[in-house]
Chain A
C-alpha cells in the first residue's frame, strides 16, 4: 500500500501538486487527470527528482521521501518515462540487464531474471537485437521489461501506451495487469487511454489542478460527475 498525505509541490509561482492525499491500495492502480494535472510531477516526486514542499509518502510502511533518489531503485522502485527512454545503443538483453545490475538482485540470477522479464512482456525479437532498430511498440515493451526486472515493489508507468495503435494497447494492457500477479509489485498507471486504465486497474485516482478529485473502484470513478467535468469542461448543461 502506498499512502500519500498532504503532498504539496511548488515551483516558482505554480503549485503542480496542492495538498494531495491519496491511497493506492495494491494491485494495478490508475492515476488519471487532464494534461497539467500533476501526474508526472507526482512520479518525479516518487523518483526523487522533485523535492516536495510538504507532505509524506509511506510505501509499504517505509518513508519514501527520506530515501536518497539513487537508492530507490535498489529498494524496488521502477519507472518508465512519458517519452520512451530505452537505450538505443544497447541490445534488448543489456537494456534489461543494466537495471538488474543496479537493483541489488543476485548476480548469479541475472541471465535467468532478464530473459524471464523479456519473455514476460512478450518480446519476440532476439534479446541480442539493438533497441535502436526496434519499432515504437517493441521499445515500449523493453521499457516495461526494464520496469519489472530485479524484484520490483512499486512500478510507475507514465503513459506507456502513448502513440500506440489500439490493437497493440490490448497486449500491453494484459502485460500490465499481470505485473502484480507475477512480481507482487504495486503498479501505478498514468494514461489518457481510458479503455487501457479501466481494463488494467481495479482502482483509480483522479487528479486535477494538483488535487485529488475522486478515487475508488475504476468503473465508479469514471462515472463520477466531477471527473467528467474535469475531462469535458465545466460548462455542463443542466
Chain B
C-alpha cells in the first residue's frame, strides 16, 4: 500500500477498532440500568407497579423485534403483537401440557413462533412498503379472530386446551420458574431474560447480518451488487424478530397466569408500531422507551389517574406526528439533542429564534396536554395535545 496516492496524506495511524470510551460508557450505562431495574425499582414501587414494569419489559422485547425489522432492514411489519399473542398462546398450552423447565419452555416457544414468523415472512418477503404492512396487518386481524374463537388454554383438553366450563377449583395459573414465583422475583427474572435477548439482537446488528440488513435497507440493487443474498437475510431478520417476540409471549403467559383473547387486539400491533417509532427504531434503547409508552402510560392513565386510556391513542398520534416531522431517530435520539439545544438557549450561546420557541412550545404542549387530560378535563387536554404537532410543523420552517 506504500505507493497509494493518498498514503502520505493520511492523518491517522491505524486506529484501534477495539473497545473504546464510548462503548465503555454505553456498557456501563446498560449495566447500571439493569442493576437499578433489578434492585432499585422494586424497592421504590409497590406490587401493582411491578406487574406493570414486567409488561413494560415484555413489550420492549416486542418493540425490539419491530425495530429490527423496520429500523435495520426496512420491512414494516404490523403483525408483531399478533406474534406476541401466538407466543402467549403456545406458552400457555405447553405449560399446561408439559413439565419442561421454564428456560427450555421459553426457547421452545421462541422456536415455534419463529417457524410461524418464517411462514409469514416467506409469503410476505416479495412485498415491501405498504403491501408488506397491509399483509402483516391482515395476519394480525386473522390471528385476533382465530384467538377469539378458540380462546386461550385454561387447563382443558384437546388441541386448544380450552374448556368453557373449567373446574374453577382445579384451575391453575401458567407456572412461573421455580426461582421466580412471586411478582417481584418474576419481574427480575424477566429483566434478565430481556437483557439476554437485547444482547442477542445487539450481536446481530453489530456483525455480518446487521451489515447485510443495513445494505438491504439502503438499496436492494446495491445489496445485490455486493453479493448479499437478500431473501436469506430478510428471512433471517423475520426469524430473529419472531423468536424474540415468541419468548416475550411466553414471558407474558406466565405473567398473566390466565390470558384472555380480549387482551390482544389487532390495533395493538398498530399502537406498538407507533410507540416504537416514537421511542426510536434505529437504537435498541428506543425499544425500551417504546415499552414504557406502550404499557406504563396506560397504567398511569387507568390505575393512577382514572382517565380513559383510549385517550392515549390521540397522544400517541400527536407524538408520532411530532417524531415523523422533526425527529426521525425518535425520542432516544432527539431528547439528548433537545436538552443540549435548550442548554445553549438558556445560557445564551444561541439566539432565541421563532423556530426554537415553536419547537419548545410543541413539546410543552404535549406535556401540558397530558397533564390537563389527567387532571382537568379530557377535552381541553386533547385540544392542547393536538396543538403540539401543529407547533412542531411550524417550527420546521
Contacts and interface: CB of A to CB of B under 8 A. Distances in A.
Interface of A: 47-49, 69-74, 77-79, 81, 85-90, 93-94, 97-99, 101-103, 111, 115-116, 119-124, 126-128, 146, 171, 174-175, 177-178, 181-182
Contact of B211 (A90, A103, A182): A90
A119 B211 contact: no
B221 A81 contact: yes
Contacts of B6: 119-123, 171, 174-175
Interface string B49-87: 000000000000000000000001000000000000000
A146 B219 CA distance: 15
A103 B227 contact: yes
Interface string B1-20: 10111110111101101001
B9 A127 contact: no
B10 A122 contact: yes
B217 interface: yes
Contacts of A88: 218
A119 B221 contact: no
Nearest to B71: A89
A181 B225 CA distance: 24
A88 B74 CA distance: 13
B10 A89 contact: no
Contact of A85 (B17, B222, B227, B282): B222
Contacts, number: 111
6 contacts: A49-B221, A74-B227, A81-B222, A86-B218, A89-B218, A146-B226
A94 B210 CA distance: 10
Contacts of B224: 47-49, 69-70
A209 to B, nearest CB: 25
Those 8 A-B pairs whose CB atoms lie nearest each other, nearest first: A122-B6, A73-B227, A98-B211, A102-B227, A174-B5, A85-B222, A87-B218, A89-B214
A121 B212 CA distance: 23
A25 to B, nearest CB: 23
A146 B212 CA distance: 14
Contacts of A94: 211, 214
* Chain B interface SS verdict (over half): loop
Contacts of A70: 224, 227-229
B382 to A, nearest CB: 36
Given A71-B227, A85-B219, A124 B211 contact: no
B218 A128 contact: no
B146 to A, nearest CB: 37
B203 to A, nearest CB: 14
Contacts of B349: none
A94 B7 CA distance: 21
Nearest to B9: A122
Interface of B: 1, 3-7, 9-12, 14-15, 17, 20, 72, 208, 211-212, 214-215, 217-219, 221-222, 224-229, 282
Interface of A is mostly: helix
Contacts of B12: 124, 126
Contact of A175 (B5, B10, B217): B5
Contact of A178 (B5, B217, B226): B5
A87 B208 contact: no
B225 A73 contact: yes
Nearest to B7: A119
A116 B11 CA distance: 14
B379 to A, nearest CB: 42
A149 B228 CA distance: 15
A192 B56 CA distance: 56
B285 to A, nearest CB: 16
Contacts of B282: 89
Contacts of B227: 70-74, 102-103
A119 B13 CA distance: 10
A47 B17 contact: no
Contacts of B10: 119, 122, 124
A98 B226 contact: yes
Most buried by B among A70, A79, A122: A70
Contacts of A86: 218
Nearest to A141: B6
Nearest to B8: A122
A101 B17 contact: no
B4 A178 contact: yes
